[in-house]
Amino acid sequence: MNAVKKIVVLSAYHDYRTAKRASIHQVARALANLGHDVSFISMRFSHLSRWKGDSRLALADRSNRIEMVDGIKCYLWRTLLHPFASSKASINAMMGAFFEIYAQTPNKTVDQLLSNADYVIIESSVAAIFVRRIHRLNPQAHIVYYATDLLDTVGAHPFVQRQLEKDGALIGHVSMRSPRMMNDFKWAGPRRYRAEFGVDVTEFSEVGATPYNTPCNVVSVGSMLFDPSFFQTVAPVFPEITFHVIGCGMKFSSPDNVIIYDEMRFRDTLAYLKYATIGVAPYRPAPGTEYLAESSLKLAQFEYFGLPSVCPDFAVGANTARVGYQVNDRDSMCKSLSRALKMVGKVRPRQFQSWEDVAARVLKPQDYPDTAILS
């Protein structure tokens, strides 16, 4: 076994303790399983978070102190306010200065964890503004930028992208979900690597009984770029199908055959995936979304269970298990679902690496030839 490393994971959207599970949670847990000393710092959380319905609100009373969960030091950094991106140009123009101030906001616990780290893994997000601070506190730390999404696609403030490129030389390497992202990281040159999906086979096999009481069920999980119009358009045309929308982050008017669920534990979503008839990834368009064809975790999970899936054309890629549609085109949406219904039982389940395999590649990709991205 390799020597134990002190690793800090920095995220602006996720806390390790929430019900929501993204790949950053899985990587952190896998690193801890590999024997490393892992800390998970969740930032950009304040009184403003209540306005956005932040998934971390239940942890507010446990903020600003370290809590051990699954052998991981968890820390939710709560401040009075935090910077954000706005649809109003005038607010965005002023917000750039706020991001600079926020990046320098004192916090002894955060700085101590960063100062002692061998590796700091920054999830693709506002956390990128901390690169310079990390390097100042700990010049020897190897900084990893874990690019699960592009900043423009998730609507990050322009300051974040500018700062990331400005401080790019301080980053040891970039681990990106898809080679389709590579042009956005030209500044990283040969320091660009690929980090694919992982699966906890035990977790995916112990899902229990079906949660469905109807014969035909279409399921969607997650809130990223969620487009409710898919269900509002398609569900009335297919009254014999029950549509299950889990953790989309909003309430919306819909037909009676659409069931909307609050966010639930990742483990609890797996039964809905395993026993579904079809999966749907109803992404709305955004800049650079083509990389979702290779980076979408929900689409990968559908593949693992051998489900045909429906998604916008830009997320299909070369995958034959997916049926694409044109966003805002009623006829195209309905035809995609009809085509997917004909594929039920004909999709071969896809195998994935373990999350431990993925985590090892995120940490030291140069040790694994399959992570290389040929430019």
Instruction: State which fold the 201-342 domain adopts.
Output: Rossmann fold (3.40.50)
Helix (H, G, I), strand (E, B) or coil at 44: strand
Asked if 262 is an active-site residue, the reply is no
Tens-place pLDDT, residues 176-195: 999 999 999 999 999 999 99
Query: Residue 161: left (phi > 0), alpha (psi -120 to 50), or beta?
Result: alpha
Tell me what the mean pLDDT of segment 292-313 comes to.
96
- Which residue in 15, 54, 149, 200 is the catalytic one? 149
- Name the strand (E) or helix (H) holding 190: none
Tens-place pLDDT, residues 243-258: 999 999 899 999 999 9
The answer to whether 15 and 49 are in contact (CB under 8 A) is: no
CATH 3.30.465.10 fits 6-198+354-371, yes or no: no
Give the dihedral sign, CA 177/181/186/187: negative
Tens-place pLDDT, residues 198-238: 999 888 988 999 999 999 999 999 999 999 999 999 999 99
Tell me what the mean pLDDT of segment 27-32 comes to.
98
pTM of the model: 0.91
Q: For residue 1, what pLDDT is reported?
A: 46
Tell me what the mean pLDDT of segment 48-54 comes to.
86
Confidence of residue 375 (pLDDT cuts 50, 70, 90): low
Buried b or exposed e, range 287-316, using 16+ CB within 10 angstroms: ebbbbbbbbbbbbbbbbbbebbbbbbbbbb
Q: For residue 374, what pLDDT is reported?
A: 65
Q: For residue 318, what pLDDT is reported?
A: 92
Question: Does residue 2 surpass a pLDDT of 80?
Answer: no
Domains 6-198+354-371 and 201-342 share a fold: yes
Question: Does residue 265 surpass a pLDDT of 80?
Answer: yes
Furthest CA-CA distance within the chain: 60
Domain boundaries, the chain: 6-198+354-371, 201-342
Helix (H, G, I), strand (E, B) or coil at 151: coil
Tens-place pLDDT, residues 319-328: 999 999 999 9
